[in-house]
Amino acid sequence: MRLGLRLFLGFFLVAGLSAFILLRVVLGEFKPSVREVMEDMMVDTANLVAALARDELAAMPPGGDLVGTAFAQRVKDYAERPVDARILSARKRTLDFRIYVTDAAGRVVLDTSPAPAVGQDYSAWNDVARTLRGEYGARTTPEQLTPYGNAGGLGNGKDAQGSPVMYVAAPVRLDGRTIGVVTVAKPAAAVQQIIYRAERRIWIAGLSLLAVSLAVGVAVTAWMIVTVRRLRRYAQEVQMGERQAPPKVPGELGDLAHAMDAMRERLDGRERLEHMARALTHELKSPLAALRGAGELLQDDLPAPDRQRFAAQVVSQSERMTELVERLLALSTLELRRGPAHPRPVALAATVDEVLAQLDDRLAQQALTVRWLRRDEVELQADAEMLMLAISNLLVNAIDFSPAGAELTLQVGIEPASGAGGRRAFFELRDQGPGVPTAAFAQLGERFFSTARPGSLRKGSGLGLAIVRQIAGLHRGDLRFEPAEPGLRVRLSFPHFTAATQTSS
């Protein structure tokens, strides 16, 4: 089972069980609570009516009733009283209390129902029997179970047959003795609509809460899946050798991304170190062998010209190894960086002029001339030292491969916009050397890949172009090679620049 489905099912199970338990608890407590409140009010009412009925009940002759008394008239006036009250969302238009009074023997002496039970014996009912015993008397009885015909009918005649009716009784006391019982009855149907309405709202709220919880669960699951997929794609890109920054992810997954990036850097560093060690060992074999041979020969008694030639070979090979180590250290330092160390506006053409001034002696030794084909005044947002190093390596490489008396052509300008790439500033250099075989173009700029110098079988280390490619990558630039026939054309381009004026020669 996939991670996203597991997360969603787990969230659905937790949210569903929580909503179900919450609804069961709320609905299970709601109806009893409403009836408790209703019974509490009925207790107050029964005791109030009992206090009002005391005098008439005390003055009633044995075997008589309260019909026609002032108390009976007040109770009748209550039953016939018009009412129209809006209680929140409910509307009350009838008075639902049924009131009946019994004497000390449980005989009904007053009843407000449409079919009065006056004269009937109610001493068997719990409300009357318990109250006469000095206990709390109350009962809930379906209407049709009344043992005295239709005596249970309520004053408004609105209750449905079979609807449960709540009865609450209170004693009528005189001088510490119970002389009768007053019972107040109210049908549960009077508040059932309120209960149903509240339950419906609770269900709607609960189901809405569940729907919102599931929507949140879907969103969280989708976010988790997208984040994990970004991490997986990043891991796959690292596996394929693509150098990418870790995805920006918050929380613990972000920590995981940075940990993966740190692990990638350590693995890349170890892999680069192993590769460099193998390549360096291979590159050092030739100068070390030459040094050993020259050293062994110098131990013999040689003529002065031979001794001088072998000593010069020792110096030359030592310089070659020194240059190799220095370039390798420079490349390793660049590979550990994520961008320019000290970016600032740098004039590209002026930087080229500065490098040419430093290489003036080497140009003069080979009688090379430099000609500008285009010279735009362009400023790059770059590290000045890195930019000088890149241009110097390109010019030195061109000088090494150019025949004596040849010409180097230079351009500094702005490329036209191409698609989503936009305009880019560039430095272009063309030499008139032997060029590069077509099959070797894909490997140009790789560490320790080089072609033979003109007129000799000696190859360079290839680290110069590798350094240029690394500097271009740190500036989000590009290094391209094209055949020039004769020679090689190299273009180094950068995305961040500001243009001033344009000149050409």
SS (H, E, C) 427-490: EEEECCCCCCCHHHHHHCCCCCCCCECCCCCCECCCHHHHHHHHHHHHCCCEEEEEECCCCEEE
Q: Give me the pLDDT at residue 229, please.
A: 78
Extents of the domains making up the chain? 3-197, 245-336, 339-504
Q: CA 454 to CA 443: how far, in whole Å?
A: 19
Highest mean pLDDT among 173-187, 290-304, 418-432: 173-187
Amino acid at 320: R
pLDDT band at 145 (very low <50, low <70, confident <90, very high): very low
Across residues 464-492, what is the average pLDDT? 83
Peptide bond into 403 cis (omega under 30): no
Are 46 and 184 in contact, with CB atoms under 8 Å apart? Answer: yes
Torsional sign, CA 176, 181, 182, 186:
positive
Q: In which band, very low, low, confident or very high, does the pLDDT at 245 lie, cut at 50, 70 and 90?
A: low
CATH number, span 245-336: 1.10.287.130
Tell me how far apart the alpha carbons of residues 78 and 53 are, in angstroms, rounded to a whole number: 14
Position with higher pLDDT, 243 vs 9:
9
pLDDT digits (tens, 9 = 90+) for 246-282: 667 666 667 777 777 777 666 665 555 555 555 556 5
pLDDT score, position 172: 94
Average pLDDT estimate for 148-168: 53
Q: Would you say 84 and 40 are in contact if contact means Cβ atoms under 8 Å apart?
A: no
pLDDT beyond 90 at 479: no
What per-residue confidence (pLDDT) applies to 155?
A: 37
pLDDT-derived band at 148, boundaries 50, 70, 90: very low
The residues near 174 (Cβ < 8 Å, ≥ 6 apart) are: 54, 58
Strand 138-142 vs strand 478-483: parallel, antiparallel, or unpaired?
A: unpaired
What mean pLDDT is predicted for residues 452-480? 71
Q: Is residue 162 within 8 Å of 128, Cβ to Cβ?
A: no
The per-residue pLDDT for 315 is 76
Which tens digits make up the pLDDT trace of 388-411? Answer: 888 888 898 888 888 888 999 999
- Mean pLDDT value across residues 279-286: 57
Q: What is the model's pLDDT at position 268? A: 61
Look at residue 180 in the predicted model and tell me its pLDDT. 94
Give the CATH number of domain 3-197; options: 3.50.50.60, 4.10.520.10, 3.30.910.20, 3.30.450.20. 3.30.450.20
- What SS3 state is found at 81? coil
Predicted confidence at residue 157, as pLDDT, reads 37
Query: What's this model's pTM, rounded to 2 decimal places?
Result: 0.43
Phi, psi (rounded to 5 degrees) for 62: -55, 135
Any idea which of 37-46, 125-134, 274-283 has the lowest mean pLDDT?
A: 274-283
Pairing of strands 369-383, 407-415: parallel
83: tokens are 């009412």
Tokens of 354: 């500065």
CATH class of 339-504: alpha beta
193 or 169, higher pLDDT: 169
The confidence score (pLDDT) of residue 150 equals 37
Most confident of 249-253, 330-334, 363-367, 470-474: 363-367
d(CA 405, CA 342): 38
Alpha-carbon span 182 to 14, nearest angstrom: 52
Q: How many residues does the chain have?
A: 505
User: Is residue 144 predicted with pLDDT exceeding 60?
Assistant: no
| Sign of torsion over alpha carbons 294, 296, 299, 304 | negative
Task: Examine the pLDDT at 91 and tell me if it is beyond 90.
Answer: no
Work out the average pLDDT over 89-109. 85
Q: Give the pLDDT band of residue 338 (cuts 50, 70, 90).
A: low
Give the span between the Cα atoms of 452 and 442, in whole angstroms: 17
pLDDT at position 399: 87
Strand order in the sheet with 177-187: 108-111, 98-103, 177-187, 164-174, 138-142
Q: Which region among 123-132, 181-190, 289-298, 361-370 has the lowest average model confidence (pLDDT)?
A: 289-298
* CB-based burial label for 184 (10 Å; 0-12, 13-18, 19+): buried
